[in-house]
A and B are shown apart, each in its own frame.
Chain A
Amino acid sequence: MSVIQLTVNGHQTQVEAPPMKRLLDVLREDLGLTGAKEGCGEGECGSCSVRMNGELVNSCLVPILQADGAHIQTVEGLAIDAELHPLQKAFLECGGAQCGICTPGMLMAATHLLVHNPHPTLEEIREGLAGNLCRCTGFIKIFDSVIAAAAMGGAKTHAR
């Protein structure tokens, strides 16, 4: 077992876990943050996407030892209390979320995109979300959501 220090959504925390336990499983099982989902478990579907030290990663592919000391942002860190992040509002308004399994990952990939590129073109949105699969929406409403969020100033981070 390893003792791992993490800052998750701005809160410092510590967990004890086998070093090869996946970041995804630590978030869900040890920290009770069940936003990130396991879809494929092999880095193809993006439903476990989180940001680690400012980089978008698939949390199913990160052994927890590699996250020691890292800052992790999950979908739970987007809203501030009852105030949804502009991307979350846009997903609601544009029908970007249906069954919801892909949504946390979509939101984190879209957050990452807008942080680096506040006003992306459709082509850039398609590329930024290429690693996130959705079986409900046909993607168009998701792309519409990101465009709407960008117009709302979605790049602004909601740091507490």
Chain B
Amino acid sequence: MRGNPESHELISPGSLTGVLAQLSAEPGTWTPIAGGTELMVAHAAGRLNASRLINLWGLPELDFIRIGDNSIAIGGGVTFGRIRKNAAIATEFPLLSKAASWIGSIANQNRATIAGNIVNGSPAADAPPALLVYDAEIELISKRGTRRIPYADFHLGYKRSVLQPDELVLALHLPRRFARNKQYLRKVGTRKAMAITKVALAASAVIQNNVITEIRLAAASVADRPVRLLATEDALLGMPLSSETIRAARTALLSEVLPIDDIRSTADYRKQVAANLLEEFLRELARGDASA
């Protein structure tokens, strides 16, 4: 432990209203902390820049999963352990369930929250590709009120987002219209457990008479933020599931993704693997056996 606990303030107003009032009174001063799976790591290493932290862990107003007629709402404070155990999410949004199951260890899943995974802003984060494929909306709350935007518009760049200093993630809303789609999620890391993504691909498709009538693709670690692969989708939409289509989709993906070289992998490797994952999904579709 190289950090000094005495050099950081941590307060716990105990209610969402109390937290929002504090964030509004001194915007930019307070850093929210929930499960601590990012901030406490920085703290232990002595590189936690935030000197004033405000506790979100245990706020009941952020800890809910609501099943509505048309969508499922997941509170920002819901842990991946809870997401994993939710039967409705497992049935209708298996990619999110699967992503939750490989976020760190059981102990990490019991603490890491879905809002934390998003606001931390890592391009390698596990939940975002599934959320992008499922056309999620993100609802933000501040003392000024709430606003709801497509999750695809949330990230602006590397570790940059539209989240204002007085705002928190209240919920993610997932429309309930993907249950019958063919779905795919694969993460490639150094090893199966506890590894951060080198590249991951999430996908959802509808095939009618061997033609792709609906396609959604999203990836991790191929750009400065989690991204939908819109150009690659364009290369596939309305096309027959043939080897020519797969080749064209690979070409589209390779020109669309912009990965980098870093400690975990290289740009070239990430491009190749992303294209291979796409091809794996499309070949599964062609065989008729793609599922989550």
Let me know if B37 is at the binding interface, CB within 8 A.
yes
Let me know if A20 is at the binding interface, CB within 8 A.
yes
Is B40 within 8 A of A43, CB to CB?
Answer: yes
Give the secondary structure class of A's interface: mixed
Contact residues in B for A46 (Cβ distance below 8 Å): 105, 107
Is B107 within 8 A of A43, CB to CB?
Answer: yes
Instruction: Identify the closest chain A residue to B41 (Cβ).
Output: A42
Whether A66 touches B108, Cβ cut-off 8 Å, given contacts A22-B5, A42-B45, is: no
Is B107 within 8 A of A22, CB to CB?
Answer: no
Q: A113 CA to B5 CA in the complex, in Å?
A: 32
Is B43 within 8 A of A20, CB to CB?
Answer: yes
Is A131 within 8 A of B105, CB to CB?
Answer: yes
Let me know if B64 is at the binding interface, CB within 8 A.
no
Instruction: Identify the closest chain B residue to A65 (Cβ).
Output: B10
Contact residues in A for B105 (Cβ distance below 8 Å): 43, 46, 130-132
| In the complex, chain A residues 65-115 whose Cβ is within 8 Å of any chain B Cβ | 65-66, 68, 109, 112-113
Let me know if B104 is at the binding interface, CB within 8 A.
yes
Let me know if A118 is at the binding interface, CB within 8 A.
no
Contact residues in B for A42 (Cβ distance below 8 Å): 41, 44-45
Contact residues in A for B8 (Cβ distance below 8 Å): 18, 20
Is A58 within 8 A of B44, CB to CB?
Answer: no
Interface size on B, residues (CB 8 A): 32
Let me know if A16 is at the binding interface, CB within 8 A.
no
Contact residues in A for B193 (Cβ distance below 8 Å): 127, 130-131
Interface size on A, residues (CB 8 A): 33
Contact residues in A for B9 (Cβ distance below 8 Å): 19-20
| In the complex, chain A residues 8-55 whose Cβ is within 8 Å of any chain B Cβ | 17-22, 25, 38, 41-44, 46, 49, 55
Q: Select one of A25, A56, A130 contacting B1, CB under 8 A.
A: A25
Let me know if B286 is at the binding interface, CB within 8 A.
no
Q: A116 CA to B55 CA in the complex, in Å?
A: 29
CB-CB contacts of B26-54 with A at 8 A, as 1s and 0s? 00000001011100110111000000010
Let me know if B69 is at the binding interface, CB within 8 A.
no
Contact residues in A for B37 (Cβ distance below 8 Å): 43, 61
Instruction: Identify the closest chain B residue to A64 (Cβ).
Output: B5
A-B contact count (CB 8 A): 102
Contact residues in B for A112 (Cβ distance below 8 Å): 106
Nearest CB in chain B: distance from A78 CB, A: 17
Q: A58 CA to B43 CA in the complex, in Å?
A: 14
Q: Select one of A25, A38, A66, A128 contacting B55, CB under 8 A.
A: A66
Q: Select one of A65, A68, A131 contacting B107, CB under 8 A.
A: A131
Is B110 within 8 A of A57, CB to CB?
Answer: yes
Nearest CB in chain B: distance from A18 CB, A: 4
Contact residues in A for B157 (Cβ distance below 8 Å): none
Instruction: Identify the closest chain A residue to B33 (Cβ).
Output: A63
Let me know if A62 is at the binding interface, CB within 8 A.
yes
Q: Select one of A20, A21, A41, A128 contacting B106, CB under 8 A.
A: A128
Chain B residues packing against A (C-beta within 8 Å): 1, 5-6, 8-12, 33, 35-37, 40-41, 43-45, 53, 55, 57-58, 81, 104-108, 110-111, 192-194
* Contact sample, A vs B, 22 pairs, CB 8 Å cutoff: A17-B5, A21-B5, A25-B5, A41-B41, A41-B44, A42-B45, A43-B41, A43-B107, A44-B194, A57-B111, A58-B111, A60-B44, A61-B35, A61-B40, A63-B10, A63-B53, A66-B36, A127-B193, A130-B106, A130-B192, A130-B193, A131-B107
Given A21-B5, A58-B111, A130-B193, 5 more pairs with CB closer than 8 A: A43-B41, A56-B110, A62-B36, A63-B36, A109-B106
Chain A residues packing against B (C-beta within 8 Å): 17-22, 25, 38, 41-44, 46, 49, 55-58, 60-63, 65-66, 68, 109, 112-113, 127-128, 130-132
